[in-house]
Amino acid sequence: MTRLRKALGPHSIERSGAAYRLALPEDAVDVIRFQRFLASGDVESALGEWKGTPLVGLGAPGLAPVERGLVEQWLGATETQLEHRVQAEPGAVVGRLIELSAEYPLREGLWRLLMLALYRVGRQADALAATLGPSPDGDASRGRAPRGDPRR
């Protein structure tokens, strides 16, 4: 709590019995803005609010499910944004899709988008290689595309 108070200001956290409560206007909390934009369908603005993995450095194990839930929301929004970009400019998103599919190897939507982007830029062999996806044990290296010249 001391670190949070230092970061947010001394009156930003109030004690309520045995618990603590954020005493900030809702618009001051990036997570709330992120979720509002998502709820309204404004994916671009929602992603603009994302500053990286939430709750980093707090070291509160009880917050791990909250963190995973927020990351899941971010991944869903990111897939939606990339879906639109694959339609409009597939070559511009191949690199990002390779990174994300390696970081989240069991996320099928990212692999689907990667295969589609590769196909649309004329890299059918790489798209076919990506159909292998990750191995059942989660090793993304089996299907990681592309192989060869990254400038293609």
CA–CA distances in Å: residue 64 to residues 38, 48, 60, 136, 140: 21, 23, 7, 25, 24
State pLDDT tens for residues 95-151: 999 999 999 999 999 999 999 999 999 999 999 988 876 655 555 444 444 444 443
Asked if the structure places residue 52 within a domain, the reply is no
Q: Average pLDDT in the 32-39 region?
A: 94
Residue 138 lies in a domain: yes
Q: What is the secondary structure of 12-42 as a DSSP string?
A: SEEEETTEEEE-S-GGG-HHHHHHHHHHHT-
**For residue 141, what pLDDT is reported?**
47
Pick from 32-46, 57-71, 91-105, 127-141: least confident: 127-141
Distance CA 126, CA 135 (A): 17
> Is the bond into 54 cis (omega within 30 degrees of 0)?
no
Establish if 13 belongs to a structural domain.
Answer: no
Total domains present in the chain: 1
In this structure, is residue 120 part of a structural domain?
Answer: yes
Residue 105 inside a domain? The answer is yes
Higher pLDDT, 7 or 88: 88
Q: Domain span at residue 149?
A: 64-152
**Residue 74 included in any domain:** yes
50 within domain boundaries? no
pTM of the entire predicted model: 0.73
Task: Please tell me the distance from the alpha carbon of residue 5 to that of residue 14, in angstroms, as a whole number.
Answer: 10
Task: Look at residue 22 and tell me if it is in a domain.
Answer: no
